[in-house]
Amino acid sequence: MRELPNFMSMITPEKPSGELSVKEENNPFGENDDSWAIPKEFQEKMRASWNSLSPSGESLNGAQLKNVMLETHAAGEHLKKIWTLSDVTKDGKLDQDEFVLAMWLATEAASGKLPPNTLPDELVPPSYRSEKEKLFTLSNK
């Protein structure tokens, strides 16, 4: 009988329906947070640009994207780092989400903000968040 109070203290009370966090509201299963630190307007603009670069939706390599990235006027050493950070799958190509990320980082670098040394979680494309976790887990075993 003395275990019951201890057990009850381990149970997290349910939140009233009006107190859901944004993450829980957007994702009823709590695993695929689709929020992204890149502004929606920028995402939309870059997706339109991507559709003209890759009408078939196929991933593009550095030679195919070099000139577009140079148009941001980010420094070459920053673009090299940005490519590495943006190629989440490490396949030498960028898909649409990786392209949006690369262009965001390049635009930020062109305005004076240095690219991060490692990609912060909030900048990982939502479509790759579970993939990044798998890659991290596999590479650290």
The domains located in the chain, with CATH, are 39-139 (1.10.238.10)
Q: What tens-digit pLDDT sequence spans the chain (141 residues)?
A: 556 555 555 554 444 444 444 444 454 455 544 589 999 999 999 999 999 999 999 999 999 999 999 999 999 999 999 999 999 999 999 999 999 999 999 999 999 999 999 999 999 999 888 755 555 544 544
Q: What is the DSSP secondary-structure string of 38-103?
A: S-HHHHHHHHHHHHHH-TT---EEHHHHHHHHHTTT--HHHHHHHHHHH-TT-SSEE-HHHHHHHH
